[in-house]
Structure 1
Amino acid sequence: MDKLQSLLEERGPIKKIGVIGMGYVGIPAAALFADSAEFDKVLGFQRNSPTSGYKIDLLNSGESPLKGEEPGLEDLLQKVVEKDKFECTPDFSRLGEMDAVTLAIQTPFKDPKDLLPDFSALEAGIRHVGQYLQPGMLVVLESTITPGTTTGMAREILEEESGLKAGEDFALAHAPERVMVGRLLQNIQEHDRIVGGIDDVSTQRAVDLYEPVLTKGRVIPMSATAAEVTKTSENTFRDLQIAAVNQLALYCEAMGINVYDVREGVASLKGEGITRAILYPGAGVGGHCLTKDTYHLERGLQIAKQADLDFPQEPSLYVTARHINDFMPEHMYNLTVEALARINKNIANSKVAILGWAFLNDSDDARNTPAEPYRDLLIDAGAEVKVHDPHVLLYPDVEISQDMEEVLDGVDAVVVFAGHRQYYSLEPRQLQELSGQTHPVIVDGRNVVEPDAFIDAGFVYKGIGRGDKNGHEVK
């Protein structure tokens, strides 16, 4: 009998699970594992650091540190804590008690130009696991990673730290997260789960881990590297779709037409064999995933090119799409400058209110928010900037207010960066009164306001893709 298979049968079914990384992926995953009758205990591992150690007490009291709208999460946390099925701990030595350990740790790029990811946090997590790894355990990477990482770096570190051999003494797999903030529990339960082990035995053990938490979703087994490519490419394709409609929006602005009319027309073409998955344009792309997963995929491609395989020499379509989406905050800045110029105001010394710091509507997730490079451009130009967000309470070096009236008081320009629900009810007369301006500026990056209502009230309006309105007469 295969040595690993024998060890797994000796250990028996997975009963104790460790989840490293108490964030947007790890917290809901741990809660769902703990809620399953198949598992006895789940430990969430969180460093007791100055910046994130506060999560430990919150989670152990059944409270979620994730703010914004996250249906069902806090109720589920309270349930599994009360049943003593979930506990958060900073004691990584307890990893040795687990049957399976998952790692959900961020994997950013310090500088995408060099295609070198910052795996320092992930490496530290893997080393923790390796130090306490026991024969017959399963280790699963859920982080989005460069193709080849599971069978390469992760395997090497685990073997070096433990003295054990992957595929013989312990199981190793990659099962990438596929969640969106605002529907974390639903996504984990209903989305199909990609599971890729370094061998068939590892794959099956990982399947056994994830199947109990799926409701509508199914497990799709494959190799570890194929799973890595699946995750990076699905986010790359979404980024590509967004870039396509953002480019279209820029074209429509230049041609004086409404991108939303064009979008509706394109989306109307339906029928067998027809796919026109056109998304919506906006002020920019944020979040932890889409802003860097293209570079993970591209890095994997660069590694593959070293094998002397024949590839097209054209610039990468995916990286070009990334550049388009990264340009959108700069375009928002250009629209702001143009709008202020129409009322003979210079960006320098102008007062600008940014509405929405989170990258996603009705969320507190501000990772890689496109509002930040926009704010930086304003400050560099000499503008005074205030930020409002109902969900984001704290952000490094940025003061964020939940008082809309205070933020809008005396501003020259109101700029919408997030499609939070409350921004859809903005009233032009109220904004005009708060601003104290006869002709205040509004720049809409998420199509949340009705242009004509603001134009009729005397606003100078600019909107992404609204070439039909951006050149209006000031009333």
Structure 2
Amino acid sequence: MNLYNQIIKKKEKIALVGLGYVGMPIAIAFAKKADVVGFDLNKQKIEKYLEGKDPTNEVGDEEIKKSTVHFTYDEADLKTAKFYIVAVPTPINQDKTPDLYPVEEASRIVGRNITKGSIVVYESTVYPGVTEDICIPILEKESGLTCGIDFKVGYSPERINPGDKVHRLENIKKIVSGIDEEALDEIAKVYELVIEAGVYKASSIKVAEAAKVVENSQRDINIAFMNELAMVFDKMNIDTNEVVDAMNTKWNALGFRPGLVGGHCIGVDPYYFTYEAEKLGYHSQIILSGRKVNDSMGEFVADAAIKQIVLSGKAPKSAKVVILGLTFKENCPDTRNSKVSDIIGRLHEYGISPIATDPWVDARTAKAEFGILLKNMSDIKDIDCVILAVAHDEYKKMSLQELDGIFKSGENSEKVLVDVKGIYSQKELKQAGYRYWRL
């Protein structure tokens, strides 16, 4: 194959299928080196890109405006490409089993449009075997072509970290794999056009698929350990962050801290791994236990808030509560699988209907995904309890005076601050008369 040479000479195009937090930055990066078609079924999303707007805030409006990517929601445009990258979400169902519909549908779309000599690379997170056992048969059925003879397939797990301006697509080493050596070499050369950190050639597609789910499962387990410690230390009246600070003075400490674990990767990928393991007759002893701990943290935080409200002398049902932050992590607009929803759900059980603010989220998203009223920070006042759920820079920069302005004043007005991310000074707030609790 000489597809790489045809791409750099701009005689063939690269197509991105799925233009979210992963696909869109990849499309923008490749467009600096090659001709790129950016496809997504979401017409409204494509229209935003065509207007030069970046709803993900991953690359910014200016990069979108000056990019040469051909943004489209018309799948017929995919016929003009030869190298396809599939970057659609792979969520989980209500019962925690993998929801493969997006990647299956993407395979059908690509299959209808590929021609002989094409290469299809999947970036969506899947359990080992999905690419070869599920996606390739769909591609063959839809195209009438034979994989390995008429077209090639590979897998290269995405490692983009939404909101992270330090660890970017270009400087994170890229795992690549292919159906055979020829495919692997072509795929590696194409990705090396934009990956400055270089590529790692996995020995097989299954190895590359497994690497993705395992790297996130490992992180999930480590955070689960810290979350379990946080729950125990809370009963011991020991501050977890102070323990971690002390522990981190040792050279081989891992540095993990407790927190809410959501998002499209860490909160999802372990279920993909354990799903396939259970199909093979192995029931996870560690991974699912870690998931159980991490999935319980939203309720734990809400319960802690209720306890602090009671200790302040207020009735929880009549307390006015505000949540700062709704996204799954700081400094990005991504609300997918945000565990802040678990805090909200638990507060509802106590008869509390909290309000929220988040400079990264619009009111419609807050209402649709969380069923909560979103307010501007300037409109929030007379609050009994503040739950800092997400460590956006806007909240880190708040002065004590600004924080004071949120709360109710007068009698029976002890300020309750629940700091999930531990971003404020415990000593300073307690000296200021706050009832302060942090995870």
Give the TM-score of the pair, scaled to structure 2: 0.92
Q: How does 1:176-195 map to 2 (within 5 A)?
A: 176-183=157-164, 186-195=167-176
CA shift, 1:106, in A, is 0.7
Distance in 1 (CA, whole Å) between partners of 2:382 and 2:55 is 34
CA shift, 1:218, in A, is 2.9
Structure 2 counterpart of 1:420, from 388, 392, 397:
392
Map of 1:13 onto structure 2 = 6
Structure 1 counterpart of 2:374, from 395, 401, 410:
401
Q: Does 1:61 align with 2:69?
A: no
Q: Report the secondary structure of 1:285's partner residue.
A: coil
Q: Report the secondary structure of 2:71's partner residue.
A: strand
Q: Report the secondary structure of 1:13's partner residue.
A: helix
CA shift, 1:185, in A, is 8.7
Q: How does 1:66-465 map to 2 (within 5 A)?
A: 66-67=56-57, 70=58, 72-80=59-67, 85-113=68-96, 116-183=97-164, 186-270=167-251, 275-282=252-259, 284-305=260-281, 315-393=284-362, 394-395=364-365, 396-397=368-369, 398-399=371-372, 401=374, 403-407=376-380, 409-437=381-409, 438-464=413-439
CA shift, 1:46, in A, is 1.4
Distance in 2 (CA, whole Å) between partners of 1:184 and 1:302 is 37
1:341-385 deviation line (CA, Å, top 9, x unaligned)? 112323223211000111111111111111111111112321131
Contact conserved, 1:28 with 1:185, CA < 8 A, in 2?
no
CA shift, 1:233, in A, is 0.3
CA shift, 1:413, in A, is 0.5
Distance in 2 (CA, whole Å) between partners of 1:229 and 1:406 is 47
CA shift, 1:149, in A, is 0.3
Contact conserved, 2:107 with 2:138, CA < 8 A, in 1?
yes
1:123-180 deviation line (CA, Å, top 9, x unaligned)? 1111001111201100011100121001100011011111111111101011110010
Identical amino acids, percent of aligned pairs:
29
Distance in 1 (CA, whole Å) between partners of 2:402 and 2:166 is 38
CA shift, 1:410, in A, is 1.9
Distance in 2 (CA, whole Å) between partners of 1:185 and 1:125 is 30
Map of 2:23 onto structure 1 = 26
Contact conserved, 1:352 with 1:413, CA < 8 A, in 2?
yes
Q: Report the secondary structure of 1:56's partner residue.
A: helix
CA 1:73–1:186 in 2, change beyond 3 Å: closer, same or farther?
farther
Q: Does 1:46 align with 2:40?
A: yes
Distance in 2 (CA, whole Å) between partners of 1:11 and 1:359 is 37
CA shift, 1:10, in A, is 8.2
Is there any run of 5+ residues in structure 2 with no aligned partner, and where?
none
Aligned pairs, number: 428
Amino acid of the structure 1 residue aligned with 2:414? H
Contact conserved, 1:105 with 1:121, CA < 8 A, in 2?
yes
Q: Report the secondary structure of 2:291's partner residue.
A: helix
1:95-121 deviation line (CA, Å, top 9, x unaligned)? 2211111111111111344xx311112
Contact conserved, 2:157 with 2:175, CA < 8 A, in 1?
yes
Amino acid of the structure 2 residue aligned with 1:13? Q
Distance in 2 (CA, whole Å) between partners of 1:159 and 1:185 is 40
Q: Which moved more, 1:452-461 or 1:135-144?
A: 452-461
Q: Report the secondary structure of 1:105's partner residue.
A: coil
Contact conserved, 2:85 with 2:123, CA < 8 A, in 1?
yes
Is there any run of 5+ residues in structure 1 with no aligned partner, and where?
1-7, 306-310, 465-475
Contact conserved, 1:347 with 1:378, CA < 8 A, in 2?
no
Contact conserved, 2:176 with 2:199, CA < 8 A, in 1?
no
Contact conserved, 1:337 with 1:346, CA < 8 A, in 2?
no
Amino acid of the structure 1 residue aligned with 2:158? E
CA shift, 1:296, in A, is 0.8
1:25-73 deviation line (CA, Å, top 9, x unaligned)? 011000001011xx2x1011111xxxx4222122123321214xx4x54
> Relative CO higher for 1 or 2, CA cutoff 8 Å, sep ≥ 6?
1
Amino acid of the structure 2 residue aligned with 1:21? G
CA 1:9–1:427 in 2, change beyond 3 Å: closer, same or farther?
closer
Amino acid of the structure 1 residue aligned with 2:40? Q
CA shift, 1:400, in A, is 5.2
Distance in 1 (CA, whole Å) between partners of 2:50 and 2:329 is 27
Contact conserved, 2:354 with 2:372, CA < 8 A, in 1?
no
Distance in 1 (CA, whole Å) between partners of 2:220 and 2:126 is 17
CA shift, 1:430, in A, is 4.2
Distance in 2 (CA, whole Å) between partners of 1:155 and 1:185 is 35
CA 1:204–1:380 in 2, change beyond 3 Å: closer, same or farther?
same
CA shift, 1:243, in A, is 1.0
1:187-235 deviation line (CA, Å, top 9, x unaligned)? 2111111111122222222112211001123333331110000000001
Q: Aligned Cα RMSD in Å?
A: 2.0
